Amino acid sequence: MAILFDPVNRRIVLDRATVSAAFLWSRWADWSATGDNLKYLPAFTQLGGDPLDNDDPLLATAFAGSYVFLENLWRVRPMEMDHDSEITGQLVVRGGGNPFVRTLGNYQVNTKYTVPVAVQGIATGGSGSYPTAEEIATAVWAKMLP
Amino acid sequence: MAKIISRSSLVIGSNLLIDEANRTIQLVQAGALVPKDGVTLQALYSKLVDLWSTASYQDSPFPMNTIDSLSGQYEVGVDAGGNFNGWKPLDDATRNMLRDGGWSEYSSVGVLLRQYVGIVGLGSVSSGAQLWYQRTTSEAPIDFVYTDQANQGVQVYGNAANGNFDYRTHIKGYCRVQGYKYTESTLADTAKTATGAFIVNLLLSNELDAKITANDAAMSGAPYSGITATYYVANQMRTIAGVSAPFRVVINGNGATLEQIYTKAQYLLRQSSDIDSGAGTVTGKTAAKLLNFLGDTLNTTTGVYIDNILEADANRIVFTDQNGVQRTNTYTSAGTLNFNSNLVGAGSSYRLIFTTGPGALDDYGEAGAITVKNASGADITGTITAASIAFNFNYDGDTLGGAAGTDKNVVLIGVRPGYGKFSLAEGILTKSKTISFSLTAEKDRAYI
């Protein structure tokens, strides 16, 4: 059994309960390089993973956070069975949305989505309804910790 | 010195020797007479008239007759009254010094012994050019006695005692000099149908040939040594733009440029030996021309085809088949696919795909997406083995991606798992030999 890429329906069908975003990205890269699969629209793009500072001992093994984006309406579909699924890494959908779709059959799948700490910028100002930097700071200070 | 055109330059006992006893006339190099430059028949005739106006020569019959000096018609051994007397040039050295005319030589009883046509080339030839001629279509080539432009009596008739031949229905001159364009000329060029004792002009000239790429010394090395010509009796069929056409001479281009092929073909046409790489025998110097350039386009002569030419040259050549029909290859576009280092190596893959297909569900991204085929019909895809991969495309013939002979949008896609991310570049297949698509992939740092 292997992860199945269904380019016609744009589904990545898992064959295991636990999988990482990097693993999905890698298997798709392998798949795209075989046969005539390059003719299909790409399932992913990927950002990050660059070494932060190789000269600083504290950061020698540190890398920028890696993000894997699902593109072109590709989505991940869990195994066709009742199970607890765990996805690690930053797997997001370009433009927003749920990376996962339901199984074809009537199964219960509990998905645990483990996202590592990563540095993220927050857009402020501009013409959209973004919070200001001061509003963000106030909200952080006002946050009640459990 | 120069050609003697005045009787005053001929001096008895110096460059003109008259033997009344044996009735011979001899020209020798002396004074103003240089053998290569020679003396006109009219000047010689005039000198003889002067001599025979003196008592010392009047005891001998007059040696020759001028029928018409303008057309160069002379007779030797007969006077103006038609009285044959057997006077003649002493030797061929004398005959070879006669210019601007043809002549007949008669015996004392009026038998035609020899006849010479006065071959006078029209046009300018390069200094030192060695021209040659052929009196029958099968005769071995004969060099004119002197280099530079031709002006010489060529024997076209000889009775049994003087060669025993009659070659008065054909003459062909050749001007083929290394580094110069070739010319050749026949009777028909001046609206004549036969030779005889008169002037025949041949249109022989040359000019520098910018398409000659090497000198003769290079012909024994690559790629020239592998460029050969094979002559056939039967038609050799070759397919051009989808049409099978007959040819009788096939040149092996040996993967050389058209200029190199042309250079070798021109070299072959100056050889005295057999240039046919096949079973037949074709003497190079008298073989018909094979190729000629019009601008940068190479044209073959009737029935000549070239195998093994460069892809880049496929659309600057015009073939003329055995039936005289000109044929050209469909336009084959050509170019290179360029990849950055992240994409080059084992495990990589590239593919060139039409952005949109002519049918349903055959656009890029769809299951029926169409991979572009090269001019040989193979998909343009494979492992990225080098930073630059050449490709070609049947621009005029391809209908997979739409109407033939039109520009077509394509996408070039490449990936090398673990090294180079999936990447894509858009482009247009145009009617060009220098198409370039470049694909630059980021390093793949996320692959596990």
Closest chain B CA to residue A41: B365
- The minimum CA-CA distance between B383 and chain A, rounded to whole Å, is 9
Interface membership of A23 toward B (CB under 8 Å): yes
pLDDT of residue A60: 61
Question: Is the whole-model pTM more than 0.80?
Answer: no
pLDDT at position A58: 61
Residue B172: strand pairing partners: B134, B186
| Interface residue A61 vs chain B (CB under 8 A) | no
Question: Position B167: which residue type?
Answer: Y
Chain A CA closest to residue B347: A33
Q: pLDDT tens digits for chain B (448 residues)?
A: 699 999 999 999 999 999 999 999 999 999 999 999 999 999 999 999 999 999 999 999 999 999 999 999 999 999 999 999 999 999 999 999 999 999 999 999 999 999 999 999 999 999 999 999 999 999 999 999 999 999 999 999 999 999 999 999 999 999 999 999 999 999 999 899 999 999 999 999 999 999 999 999 999 999 999 999 999 999 999 999 889 999 999 999 999 999 999 999 999 999 999 999 999 999 999 999 999 999 999 999 999 999 999 988 989 999 999 999 999 998 999 999 999 999 999 999 999 999 999 999 999 999 999 999 998 889 999 999 999 999 999 999 899 999 999 999 999 999 999 999 999 999 999 999 899 999 999 999 999 9
Residue in A29, A34, A39 nearest the CB of B447: A29
Residues in chain A: 146
Is the CB of A50 inside 8 Å of chain B's CB atoms? yes
User: What is the model's pLDDT at position B407?
Assistant: 97
- Which residues on neighbouring strands pair with residue A112, listed in sequence order? A86
- Residue A127's pLDDT is what? 54
How many Å apart are CA B22 and CA A92, to the nearest integer?
118
Q: Count CB pairs under 8 A between chains A and B.
A: 76
Q: What is the DSSP string of A18-87?
A: EEEHHHHHHHHHHHHTSTTGGGBPPSEEEE---BS-TTSGGGTT-BPPPEEEE-TT-EEE--SSSEEEEE
What ipTM does this complex have? 0.81
A34 reaches B (C-beta below 8 A)? yes
> So what's the pLDDT on residue B175?
98
**Closest by alpha carbon to B335, among B388, B257, B413, B298?**
B388
Q: What DSSP state is assigned to residue B94?
A: H
Out of A7, A29, A39, the one facing B415 most closely (by C-beta) is A29
Give me the residue from A22, A30, A72 closest to B446, CB to CB.
A22
Structure tokens at B109: 């009883």
- The pairing of strands B381-382 and B349-354 is antiparallel
| Residues A72/A43, Cβ–Cβ less than 8 Å | yes
- CB of A63 within 8 Å of a chain B CB? The answer is yes
User: What distance in Å separates the CA atoms of residue B267 and residue B287, rounded to the nearest whole number?
Assistant: 12
Contacts of A90 in chain B (CB under 8 A): none
- Strand extents, DSSP E, B50-175: 64-68, 73-76, 88-89, 98-99, 102-106, 112-122, 132-134, 142-143, 151-158, 165-166, 172-175
Chain B residues in contact with chain A using a Cβ-Cβ cutoff of 8 Å: 347-351, 353, 364-367, 369, 371, 381, 413-418, 421-422, 424, 444-448
DSSP B287: S
How confident is chain A (146 residues) per 10-residue block, as mean pLDDT? 92 96 97 97 93 67 85 96 94 94 95 72 56 73 70
